[in-house]
Structure 1
Amino acid sequence: MPIEKKKAYFDGRFGLTYLSIGARKSHSKDIIKSDYLECLMLAYCIEDHQWPDIPGFRAKIQKFEEKCKFIGLQVFKSLSLAMKLKNKDNFFKSHLLVNSEKNPSLLKVLQYPPVNSKEVRPSFAVHTDFGSLMFLFSDDLSVLQMHRVVVPEDRNKRLQSRRSMAFFSNRQRSYVGYIRIRRW
C-alpha cells in the first residue's frame, strides 16, 4: 500500500491506526531514539469504513485474531490450573470478550525496513509490553528477542524487509472479579 494511503489511517483513535517509521520514540536512559519500523495497529472493533480496501484483508485479520483468542483461552485455562486458583473460572471468564468492543485486545502488524551497514541500530528498542498475554509471530528474517527487536547480524537479512505480528490479549475492562493465588 502506498505511504499516502497508509498515512490516512493515522488518527490516534482506538481502531485501525498506522504509525510510520520514526513516529514512535523509545526512551532508554538518557537517549531518545525513533524506532525503525512501521506499524499497523488493529483493534478488533474497527468500524466498517476504517478497513483498507484490500480484498480479503479484513476476513484474514479477523480469522487470525479469532485463532489467537482460542489459543489464548486455552492458555488461560491451563494457567488457572497450574496456579491452583481457588476460582479457576474467574481467570478464564475475564478474557472471554477478547475480540469484542468491550475488550482492549490488539493486533500489531510490524514491518522493519531494510538496513544497510551504516545504519545498524535496534529496530524497536527495549520496552515493556502490557496485558495478560502476548503472542509473537515473525518471518524467518526477524530477530525478536524478549522485550526488543534487533537488526540481524547477517548482511543479506539486513537488506530485506522483515515482518512480525504481536497479538495482545487483555482481560475485559468491565470484568468484576478477582483472582486469589494460593501460596505454594
Structure 2
Amino acid sequence: MKKLFPILFLILLTGCLQTTILKNGYSQAPVNPKVFQNKASFDKSILAQIDTTVIYEEFLPVYYNGSVQQQNILARNNHNNRNTIYGVYRFYGNGNYNLFHLDRNDTILTQNMFDPAYTGWRGVLYLKKGKITGDLITQTGQLGWQIGKQTQEFTAHGDTLYVTAKNRYRYVYIKRSINPELLKQHSNW
C-alpha cells in the first residue's frame, strides 16, 4: 500500500491538469482557463520592457566543448551542438506568451512555427513583488507526459532577456526581428 500511494498521488496530480492536443498532433495546451488565474495581475507596464513585435531566441553563453572553450553564440548558429532544437519566446500585448521550439535545420521560418493554436507552450505574464513573473504550462517531468505549471521570472536589459525558474535554471535570450507576417497570430487563453 505504501508503494501504491505515490503512484496514485502522481496520477491524481497530473490528472488535475486537463489538456488538449494542438494542431501539430503532439503539443499540449491546458483546457481550463483557471490555470492562468495570475493573468488578473498583468500590468501593461511590463510591455515597456518586453517587445511584442519580435521573438527572443535562445543564446548560449560561454561553454566548454571537451576542453575547448566555445564563444557566446545563438543556439541556432551553434553547429557544434548535436541538439538542433532551441527555444524561442513570443510575447503578446494582452500579457500572454509562448515558448516555441525551433529546429536550426529548418532555416525557412513559417507561420505555423509561431502559431499558438498549432504548437508551443502557453503562459501568462504578471507582476509579483514588482518583478515580471510568468506562469508557463509546460512539460514538468523528465518522462515527457507530465504537464504542469512552471513559474518563471523575466528580466530585460536592452535586447537581452533573462529567464529564471526558481532553483532550476537561468537562460539568456536575444531579441530577433523577423517578418511581421509570421507573427500575426493572436493568443486567447
**TM-score interval (norm. to shorter):** under 0.3
Structure with the bigger percentage of helix: 1
Q: What TM-score do the two structures reach when normalised by structure 1?
A: 0.25
Q: What TM-score do the two structures reach when normalised by structure 2?
A: 0.25
